[in-house]
Structure 1
């Protein structure tokens, strides 16, 4: 990682973020395309896979957060121009996520059906969800490796490489979906089973290609030794950021399980509408996620190089861009209304529930942008506990409680749930803004100064 990373320290946000935008768009697009195609196969299949995918996402977070934490630590070491330690951290991250991935795959295969029971699914919807979880769950260790290798490339400024892999992976996936759902080329229609196996094949392909690019551009090899001999200090550094982040993200996913259970009581139309609008919402915060991740990379380098004013200004500039962009996009969807949802379904019951929710999305997304940008920037600065604490309090104290209160007690249904989630996003975003402006990294640096040095 010596020579290739030397040009990464002065990359602009645009140069880092545009490949991330395309990559995230393709990743999200793969889920949206699968949902869209399955909706033509069966609304119950689309709902079942949507809920099952929510469960799968919970387990992916176990190693996704360690990958992000690794990217931050590698970025800080590159900012401090400690290239040897950056390489060492990369290998440690790979070893950690290898074992996490195997454990998570085993847990999902063995207990996936039991976990799905929390969603209160029934009939064909439950059958479709179970099929998806069993097949895709077995390949989750491949997802863990893919996330780690992508994080290593991104930390070194190679965001275009992971973008290329995403493009190829999506082409492969779409072809597989077409065969599975529409029976192209004379193949039998296999529905959810075919879609699930397509995802497994795409993951195998992604890992193989990412291995190649990591070796080609960064000259890093991973051997069996790197899976056994992990650097203890690197593990500690990764976990300092990763554990609070995992707690925050897992808390969010579990709160969404509870909210999904609340929505399931409103009927199949509300459940399907939630799945479809969740996909539409992803398009609203796609731009935010890409520039937030680009900002995260830059902030980690600035903090590593002790360029604190530069880090502060970068976070605030990104915040303004993200909030404006998310508001414009979400308002566009709200104004468009029915034609957007009709891309997914013609069911009048689902349309009646879903169309008003698009206006609640326009309220939610600017707050989500504030939350995403500044909470991720705080983690890059080493302040990972604060986002976790505020997140857990808000998710359960606001999102879950208000979802029940507004949705059930006040009879607003899915609209009440979305308003509650919007209030949660704005609450966390405002606290993140105040924390970012307080420069928490300076407090950490003062605390790290030996007491004897302060008295000299």
Structure 2
């Protein structure tokens, strides 16, 4: 790999060429296992939805709303994942083992705090949560019974996510894939046994789906730990070194994480507000939204692979001081992402008819679900490009720019448009849904300008700091200095 890096540095910096062969090969090495893992997870969610569809549209809608609460938890801890991967990738490129271990310790501590809070809310006040998301009493009761069990899975999911983020950042992408495969198989098996009461197991209905999620989370974590022990991978189990923090390290970590945390939390709250609007529609619309979110995961599965590729392929080079390579890679990642997302969207549209029917939609709910997929397929081309650029900036050390853009447009443009369309103008549901993406084209143009400016390369490692001024001088990049 070092020889490949040297070759790319020579061709990229001295001859002006770009090593596409190395680039595509390493995107595949990193992105494909991650995308495959998420694709399998989404497929598992689709199978779950198909099983729950036999219990009725209200059950599908209730579990879909519970998934939105899980997404809010995801937003709460993803800021620490993003910040952690910034440090993991750059320290990996700089070959700083102690930096990786300390970064993992502080990342895990913050993530677990979020997981414990959400687990407490799901187990302790599920009625309060469901009352926020919908005013349909029957859907609320179904959701309450689901949350009272699935809350136990949250801590397991947070632990697995922290470990997986570290493994992907150090280019051990196959281990999370194995854990994901085992988790999906376990989830489908346990759901089948517990939802329908097969082979002597009790027939638990929606509570069986929740318990299956808990058991699958246990399987995933155990598989990850087993491979870590087998391959003797450091960092994860070095507990005595996890908490060797000093004030300067914590300050630097939180300084990089803070914009990402604000981004994820505020965007999570904004999405919750949008989901509240969508959750107060007709029961058929609620069911369509739940199914759509599952199919949306198919597209996001492809994106997540590129997200991790951007973090590792760009962050590693910034950490190693190879800023020109990072700069050239980043610009190409965005366009490759859009091309792949377009392919994924076409694939979903091609098979949407049998999928929507298999997941319990018919009549009006089928019409709404089809409309949502068509709208999203157009929006995703730009939306995922924005996400890729934001992840690239974060990996290179610029956690603020993309976060400020996303938060600003969410609260200045998206939320006002959605609320006015729904509550003031009483617009059709699909128009309200389309306005959820009204900011994406404008933000894409701004993000592209920032991409080509090169100002987002801000290393945290000593090796990266040694060569950053040379890179900025070569490209005429001027950074305002803080007094």
Distance (Å, rounded) in 2 between the aligned partners of 1:60 and 1:226:
27
Farther-moved stretch of structure 1 (236-245 vs 311-320):
236-245
Note closer, same or farther for the CA distance 1:237–1:202 as it changes in structure 2 (3 Å cut): farther
Could you tell me how far 1:91 is from its partner in structure 2? 3.3
Distance (Å, rounded) in 2 between the aligned partners of 1:221 and 1:316:
32
Deviations 1:173-220 (A, max 9, x none): 100111122322132321111111111112222222222323333134
Residue of structure 1 equivalent to 2:462:
none
Residue of structure 2 equivalent to 1:118:
132
Distance (Å, rounded) in 2 between the aligned partners of 1:56 and 1:90:
23
Task: Answer whether contact 2:73 2:115 (CA < 8 A) is retained.
Answer: no
Note closer, same or farther for the CA distance 1:206–1:443 as it changes in structure 2 (3 Å cut): closer
Residue of structure 2 equivalent to 1:303:
318
Task: Answer whether contact 1:98 1:227 (CA < 8 A) is retained.
Answer: no
Distance (Å, rounded) in 1 between the aligned partners of 2:140 and 2:410:
26
Matched, 1:435 2:421: no
Could you tell me how far 1:107 is from its partner in structure 2? 4.0
Distance (Å, rounded) in 1 between the aligned partners of 2:425 and 2:378:
19
Note closer, same or farther for the CA distance 1:151–1:258 as it changes in structure 2 (3 Å cut): same
Farther-moved stretch of structure 1 (213-222 vs 286-295):
213-222
Distance (Å, rounded) in 1 between the aligned partners of 2:350 and 2:234:
50
Q: Classify the secondary structure of the residue corresponding to 1:384.
A: coil
- TM-score where L is the length of structure 1: 0.89
Matched, 1:384 2:402: no
Distance (Å, rounded) in 2 between the aligned partners of 1:62 and 1:265:
24
Residue of structure 2 equivalent to 1:76:
90
Deviations 1:421-452 (A, max 9, x none): 22233333332222111112357856xx9xxx
Distance (Å, rounded) in 1 between the aligned partners of 2:445 and 2:297:
21
Could you tell me how far 1:169 is from its partner in structure 2? 0.9
Could you tell me how far 1:114 is from its partner in structure 2? 2.0
Matched, 1:261 2:239: no
Task: Answer whether contact 1:371 1:432 (CA < 8 A) is retained.
Answer: yes
Could you tell me how far 1:410 is from its partner in structure 2? 4.6
Q: Classify the secondary structure of the residue corresponding to 2:355.
A: helix
Q: Classify the secondary structure of the residue corresponding to 1:440.
A: coil
Farther-moved stretch of structure 1 (108-117 vs 375-384):
108-117
Aligned length: 445
- TM-score where L is the length of structure 2: 0.84
Residue of structure 1 equivalent to 2:199:
185
Alignment of 1:1-40 (within 5 A): 12-40=26-54
Farther-moved stretch of structure 1 (396-405 vs 220-229):
220-229
Matched, 1:210 2:224: yes
Matched, 1:403 2:418: yes
Residue of structure 1 equivalent to 2:185:
171
Task: Answer whether contact 1:47 1:275 (CA < 8 A) is retained.
Answer: yes
Q: Classify the secondary structure of the residue corresponding to 1:41.
A: coil
Could you tell me how far 1:113 is from its partner in structure 2? 2.9
User: RMSD value over aligned CA atoms?
Assistant: 2.8
Could you tell me how far 1:138 is from its partner in structure 2? 3.1
Farther-moved stretch of structure 1 (39-48 vs 79-88):
79-88
Note closer, same or farther for the CA distance 1:293–1:242 as it changes in structure 2 (3 Å cut): same
Structure 2 residues without counterparts, runs of 5 or longer:
6-21, 460-467, 473-480
Deviations 1:86-109 (A, max 9, x none): 233233333443444334423443
Matched, 1:195 2:209: yes
Residue of structure 1 equivalent to 2:354:
339
Could you tell me how far 1:45 is from its partner in structure 2? 1.1
Residue of structure 2 equivalent to 1:133:
147
Farther-moved stretch of structure 1 (80-89 vs 92-101):
92-101
Distance (Å, rounded) in 2 between the aligned partners of 1:51 and 1:144:
20
Could you tell me how far 1:68 is from its partner in structure 2? 3.0
Task: Answer whether contact 1:266 1:413 (CA < 8 A) is retained.
Answer: no
Note closer, same or farther for the CA distance 1:279–1:428 as it changes in structure 2 (3 Å cut): farther
Note closer, same or farther for the CA distance 1:232–1:313 as it changes in structure 2 (3 Å cut): same
Distance (Å, rounded) in 2 between the aligned partners of 1:56 and 1:345:
22
Task: Answer whether contact 2:94 2:319 (CA < 8 A) is retained.
Answer: yes
